[in-house]
Amino acid sequence: MNQFLPVSIADMRDRGWDGYDFLLITGDAYVDHPSFGPAIISRVLEAEGYRVAILAQPDWRSAEAFKALGRPRLGVMLSSGNIDSMVAHYTAAKRRRHDDAYSPGNRAGLRPDRAVIVYANRVREAFGDIPLVIGGLEASLRRFAHYDYWEDKVRRAVLLDSQADLLVYGMGETATREIAARLASGTPVGEITDVRGTAFLARDPSACAYPKIECPSFEEVSADKRAYAQANQIQYEEHDPIRGRAILQRHGDRLLIVNPPAMPLTTQELDFVAELPYVREPHPMYDEMGGVPAIEEVRFSVAHNRGCFGACSFCSLAFHQGRIISSRSHESVLREVEALTKHPGFKGYIHDVGGPTANFRRPACKKQMKAGLCRNRACLAPEPCPNLDADHTDYLMLLRKIRAVPGVKKVFIRSGIRFDYMLKDQSGEFFAELVKHHVSGQLKVAPEHCVDGVLDYMGKPHIAVYEKFRQKYQRLNQKYGKEQYLVPYLMSSHPGCTLDDAVRLAEWLNRSGRQPEQVQDFYPTPGTLSTCMYYTGIDPRTMEPVYVPRDPREKAMQRALMQWKRPEKRPLVREALRRTHREDLIGYGKHCLLRPGKPAKEGERTAGRGAPEKGRSAPGRASARGGEQKQPRQRPAKKAGWAAAKPKKNARPRKGRGRG
């Protein structure tokens, strides 16, 4: 039976250890499952023969909690957890969240804001100059000077504020092995400067071991938004393991050197990582606290791939996992499924066979593994590349094999699919089997908007592609006698989206006959192209100006237009229609959004919300959480089409999984 790694000195004594090699600190509760980055890194180190201890969610208010397991022999590795700590703590409206699915009992507040920096500084207090390596999503996306939405300013690269020796970005198994081996051999951490997928600080460019390019400095990007956009584009374009160069960025008298990305894992390497001896459960120390809710989404799910070439502008995947796809072998996935069937809680349902995008199982084209991804070109949007390889045969074969495993009743796909990629598969066989076997009542897709100009800024296909997909989905459901719905993700206030565009989206939704329950305000997270547009007002791909909705009142109106039928939204919708001179949408026709009515008086409050119809909004209401707040369920339509999925309370922004 697999064992959890030690979390206390007593655990180490039970194993007969008189010391250990690496301390791994995480801002999440300790869940030993391959969907949790810290669990993967700890098991990779263990497989290399190192003794690893886990310190999960330590009390950051003093250094004493960081000394609880004693000083490790070789070094400390730390991560804020599976998501950025600021995203974990705050909504897109910068309101404090009241829960945290990655903490015991769903309890918020068990990690600090900017956890990587806080934890790293406490490690320095506790252990002095011990080798200190930071990694995970938060460190990865903040590896350069970056715009911080919560402080509304450009912050330095996280290496400087954390005082760490090395930063591992992306999926860090290869870099972690190399760093650990060198530390174990006695190499000083200051001499570990040539590992791919890492960043470090130096004084001179000669410290860089790779072909290099310099981007505008911290001082330049802080003072000049055009320089920030130029730096962002360089960083995005060079994030390629085949053709990418090292990137240098000056911070005062220090030089940040970000080595080229590590190569994606091969199928054999990914199989090995996926099949390490995980317990696949939260540590039992959380049982009395209510467990760790995040396990419920992944306990009976299988991740078969990594990476995403979808290139959505607002998604951090391209800047973290990269755009080249790695996938596991059928045999490895089947071994995992067979193990799941023996779990005492398994009821016959595999909840997901997916990843960042479920139906990506191979590189976008054959030349990528030799030449890298094309510069200044996306694989799918606005039009699919002629070289795109959209064959779903391998994924289809895998799903058929999983369905045949004894004990498996149903196999669902819940990660979300990239519908434009699926439509390019000429056979249509996968689409048919998806509808027949793999939809659990609702299929997640992400049209995001209906205005092609906005979709271009988002890096998404034009709306005609979605309409073609929706119609084919309806026909297949009718053909196979299924009553299954689409759950469309939509986003308000993305850079490039004007109030007129938001009205056009409301009209489109009205024509579709559905109003979504779950909507999302654009959330500027570090490292993405969309965040660059938000901060600079410039599209870094073209260096042309882009409109950015920043005013809280306008953002509230854009969000309200997607849910115009709700009584509490009507004052905002009416104001938006008047601002855009679209009073033609107030009336009794089918095309109208609102019925004529007596306008509310100045300062009059609407029922149940307290938001005034005119003038300034009530304090704390103008930027209400919109799609992030819990909404009542609507009755689904009787035909296959739009469906309103019940949103999770304070749902996190969708990154990767479910954003096809």
Note the pLDDT of residue 318.
Answer: 80
Per residue in 501-516, pLDDT (tens digit) is: 999 999 999 998 877 8
Note the pLDDT of residue 599.
Answer: 54
Q: Measured between alpha carbons, how far is 80 from 86 in angstroms, rounded to an integer? A: 10
Note the pLDDT of residue 578.
Answer: 97
Per residue in 59-116, pLDDT (tens digit) is: 999 999 999 999 999 999 999 999 999 999 999 999 999 999 999 999 999 999 999 9
Per residue in 236-288, pLDDT (tens digit) is: 999 999 999 999 999 999 999 999 999 999 999 999 999 999 999 999 999 99
The arithmetic mean of pLDDT across residues 180-200, rounded, is: 98
The arithmetic mean of pLDDT across residues 184-197, rounded, is: 98
- Of 455-464, 479-488, 589-598, which one has max mean pLDDT? 455-464
Q: Measured between alpha carbons, how far is 171 from 165 in angstroms, rounded to an integer? A: 18
The arithmetic mean of pLDDT across residues 546-575, rounded, is: 95
The arithmetic mean of pLDDT across residues 461-474, rounded, is: 96
Query: Could you identify the residue written with the tokens 């470090």?
Result: 200
Burial (Cβ within 10 Å: 0-12, 13-18, ≥19) of residue 592: middle
Q: Decide: pTM greater than 0.75.
A: yes
CA atoms within 13 A on the CB side of 274: 27
- The full set of domain ranges for the chain reads 9-258, 472-521+540-660
Note the pLDDT of residue 424.
Answer: 94
pLDDT class of 617 with cuts at 50, 70, 90: very low
Note the pLDDT of residue 369.
Answer: 82
For residue 523, pLDDT beyond 90:
yes
pLDDT class of 488 with cuts at 50, 70, 90: confident
Contact status, residue 456 vs residue 382, Cβ threshold 8 Å: yes
For residue 350, pLDDT beyond 50:
yes
Comparing C-alpha atoms, which of 384, 357, 525, 382 is closest to residue 459?
Answer: 382
Note the pLDDT of residue 630.
Answer: 33
Note the pLDDT of residue 366.
Answer: 86
Q: Measured between alpha carbons, how far is 432 from 426 in angstroms, rounded to an integer? A: 12
Domain 9-258 belongs to what topology? Rossmann fold (3.40.50)
Instruction: Identify the helix (H) or strand (E) that includes residue 221.
Output: helix 218-223
